[in-house]
Structures are given as structure tokens and as C-alpha cells.
Amino acid sequence: NAGVTQTPKFQVLKTGQSMTLQCAQDMNHEYMSWYRQDPGMGLRLIHYSVGAGITDQGEVPNGYNVSRSTTEDFPLRLLSAAPSQTSVYFCASSRERDGKNIQYFGAGTRLSVL
């Protein structure tokens, strides 16, 4: 199993550009989430999904869109990048099993918006 795979690892954008951060998992997990981590801070939830076709907003959803057309993939779209979106983005997946719901993280995407 590859686990949770994020691409790209690094990206530099200009203000106003759009892009999609990719996230894929091969563990058949129903739950998937996107977080952002700013320097010296914890992770803040952007959007999450409890299954294909179902998404919901997290703590900081503005400026981001998501969709979940398949169980495996959960892309995050930046519609019009702003310098405030410079951050490290983490995708995570999990499933409910034996009363546990443990999150597994991808390696992260480091995004700079100039």
C-alpha cells in the first residue's frame, strides 16, 4: 500500500492563479480531510469528506473547493491564490474500524503564493 499520496510536494504560484492539490489513498478509507499548517502552528481543517459524493466545510474553508467523486481521490482546488494561502497542506484519510478512527497523513504540499 502506498498509503496517502499528495502531489505536488512543492508549488509556487502567483497571486490570482488557480491550481489543484491532489490527494489519493489506496486504503479504502471512507473519511478524507484537508488541513493547512502555518509556521509554528497546529493543523487547521479546511474541508473534509465522509464518503464519495459527500463533503463539508471545516474551520477555514474560504478560498478552497473540494469534490469527492471516488473513494480514492480528494482534490483541493485553490480558485484564486492569495499570499495568505501560503502554507503547508496535508491530506489525511481514516476509517471507522473496531471502534477506532485513526488518521493517516500524506507527506504534505508546501505552497508559496507570491
Residues that bind another protein (CB under 8 A): 31, 33, 35, 41-45, 48, 50, 56, 58-59, 88, 90, 100-105, 107-108
Angstrom distance (rounded) from CA 44 to CA 61: 10
Give me the least distance between CB of 100 and another protein, in Å please.
5
Q: Which CB atom, from 44 or from 77, has the smaller least distance to another protein?
A: 44
Q: Is the peptide bond before 8 cis (omega within 30 degrees of 0)?
A: yes
CB closer to another protein, 17 vs 104: 104
CA distance 90 to 45: 9
